[in-house]
Structures are given as structure tokens and as C-alpha cells.
Amino acid sequence: MQLFLNQKFCSDLSPHALAAYCALRMLTLKERPMVCVSVDILCYHLFRNFGYSKHTPEYVREGLKEILDNKIVRQIDGKKNYYVLDCSSLLLPGSQEKFTIVTDQEVNKVFSIKGVNNYILLKYFIALIGSFSSKTSITVGEKTKHRVVGNSAISYISKITDISEQSIYDYNSILEHAELIYIFRPTDMVPVKKQDEFKKRTNIYGRFEDKAYVEKYAKDFIIAEFGTGNTWSPDLSANERRRLSQVYNRIAAGHGEKYSMDEINSVYNFVSSENKRYEELYETTGSADYLNKVRDLAVFEKYDITTEE
């Protein structure tokens, strides 16, 4: 089920109130804006089970109170633990409203993660999804998708969510492990159009299910931004780069006989390209850290290497 969330509510509400808002949104239909709920019903829709901690109802009750106090929904009636609420304001009236779309399954998955503050993690996840560009369309094969990638700086996401940058690094790792998001990470620094200028690049990210679209956008972006003549090849996926690095280590350890000459040539050209890039970065920045990343090409001396022009 898709949940169309008002971005202003997502930004202004506390993490506990945002969770209650998501639960209410799961229950609110255009044909049925009046809902009868209890705190336990809201908790159930966040977790999809009753195995939540004893503190969960307290947090959700606190969040619901904030929503009522801010007149985002109105209480029409109630009895004991039940609230009858007019949630019509949760239904976006028109295209002038800025909204973020998440699914109830994504919310449930966030709340299934152990060892983390799920409420803050949900607020961060929604902010990250909300930062996807609405103007970008990406085609993979014969299918085109919209609003599937973002590349906002971590400092910007930190500012709009009031979540520290270090926590964001941690949350990114958690969400990647849960296969809720996929992040394409460019190399630390890559050349821009002017040879003597460099700048940090932000990550490019999207939902895990849209990994192919994220990688397609990243490749097209890097080629458009830096051209095809720079020393970093956007055609290599992160997995392929790791694989080539591992093969190099095996060759350096004296196990090159296990690989074909085509494979050894590929590794040589990859390492040579990487070395050139690190040497350029050293010359530009003066940081010896880049020189420490240069690999020894002498391990290829006994092979008949075919170099790429």
C-alpha cells in the first residue's frame, strides 16, 4: 500500500508523531476519512504484530497527542481506549501539496530492525525518500521510472532532519543492510571538467529495488559531468572493482597461474588506471594518503600484458 505523506508534516512532526501519522495514514481511505482506532491498533500497524516493547504504546500515544494538539486530525468521539478521528486532512487535496511516497511494507520493515531507534530511523528514511528528484526520469531497458534517485549531500539531510551526520552514516548502513536503500558511492574525489579543479561528490542513492536505475543515473551523471576521458571508469560496478582488486592481491601473492591472460590483462589495466588516478590526486592535493593507495605493477612483469590505449 502506498502512503502519500505530506512533506510538511514529515518535517515538522517529532519521530513519535511521525510514526503515529504513518499508522493513521495506513488506515485512512478517501472513501472513509473517519477512523476508529486505539493506541494498540496504531502500534500493530507499525509492526504488523503485537510483539512490540512495553514502551511502544507510550511513544505512539505521545505521538498521537502531538498530532491532535496540532489539529492535524480532529477527535470526533471516543470511549475508554478508543478514538474516533476525522483524518480527512491526511488526504492530500491537490497537486500543490508536496508529498513523499513510502509503502506500508517499508514502514513495517523499518520497525522490524533491532538495536536501533526505529522512530528516528523512520524519520530519516522518509526524509531520504523525500529528497528524490521529481524532475529526473531514468530508463533501463524499456521501462522508465520517475522520482527514484537522489543525490543530496549528507550535510543537507542532516540539516532538514536535525540528525547528526555520524548518525546518518550509521543509518545508511542499517538501511542498506535491510535492503531498503541502495547507495552508489563515487570515488572519494574525481576530476571535474577543468584539469586542476576537484571537488567532493555526494552519494547517489535510491530504493534497493531500483538499484539498476540508480547505477544507470550515476553512470550517465559521471559521464556528463566529467566526460569519458577521466581515469575513473564508470562502467565498472562496485562489485567488479572489488573483484579485480581481490584478483590483483592473488596475483601479487604468486597465484597468477589460476587466471587466464584475458583476466590478468583486465586486472593490469584496472590497477594501472587506478594508480594514475591516485597519482593525479596526490599532485593536486599533496596528500600522501593517495600515494599509499598506488599498487605495485612489478607483479605483472612476467606476463605478456596488452595495455589499453
23 falls in which pLDDT band (50, 70, 90)? Answer: very high
Name the residue with higher pLDDT: 125 or 204. 125
Cβ distance 246 to 238 under 8 Å? no
Cβ distance 155 to 162 under 8 Å? no
Residue 206 has pLDDT above 70, yes or no: yes
- pLDDT for the residue numbered 134: 80
Q: Which of 29, 33, 98, 25 is nearest to 63 (CA)?
A: 25
d(CA 245, CA 230): 20
240-268 per-position pLDDT tens digit: 778 888 999 999 998 888 888 988 988 99
83-112 per-position pLDDT tens digit: 999 999 888 766 567 889 999 999 999 999
Mean pLDDT of 208-228: 76
Which residues are CB-neighbours of 226 under 8 A, at least 6 positions away? 190, 191, 192, 193, 232
C-alpha of 57 from chain center: 29
Name the residue with higher pLDDT: 238 or 260. 260
Q: Which three cell numbers stand for residue 84?
A: 474516533
Q: What three-state secondary structure class fits 128?
A: helix
Which of 8-12, 164-168, 304-308 comes out lowest in average pLDDT? 304-308
Which of 184-193, 236-245, 258-267, 278-287 comes out lowest in average pLDDT? 184-193
Mean pLDDT of 29-40: 92
Q: What three-state secondary structure class fits 168?
A: helix
Cβ distance 121 to 171 under 8 Å? yes
Cα dist from 140 to 122, 137, 217, whole Å: 29, 10, 10
Name the residue with higher pLDDT: 186 or 45. 45
Instruction: Determine if residue 136 is left, alpha or beta; phi over 0 gives left, psi from -120 to 50 gives alpha, anything else beta.
Output: beta
d(CA 152, CA 132): 8
Which DSSP helix (H) or strand (E) runs through 205?
strand 204-207
Q: Of 68-72, 211-215, 217-221, 233-237, which one has max mean pLDDT?
A: 68-72
Cβ distance 202 to 153 under 8 Å? yes
127 falls in which pLDDT band (50, 70, 90)? Answer: very high
Residue 195 has pLDDT above 90, yes or no: no
Cβ distance 22 to 3 under 8 Å? yes
308 falls in which pLDDT band (50, 70, 90)? Answer: low
Q: What three-state secondary structure class fits 183?
A: strand
Residue 223 has pLDDT above 90, yes or no: no
Q: Which of 224, 222, 201, 220 is nearest to 212 (CA)?
A: 220
d(CA 120, CA 117): 6
Q: Whole-number mean pLDDT of the chain?
A: 85
The residue whose grid cell reads 505521545 is 62
Name the residue with higher pLDDT: 166 or 193. 166
Q: Which of 145, 157, 133 is nearest to 216 (CA)?
A: 145
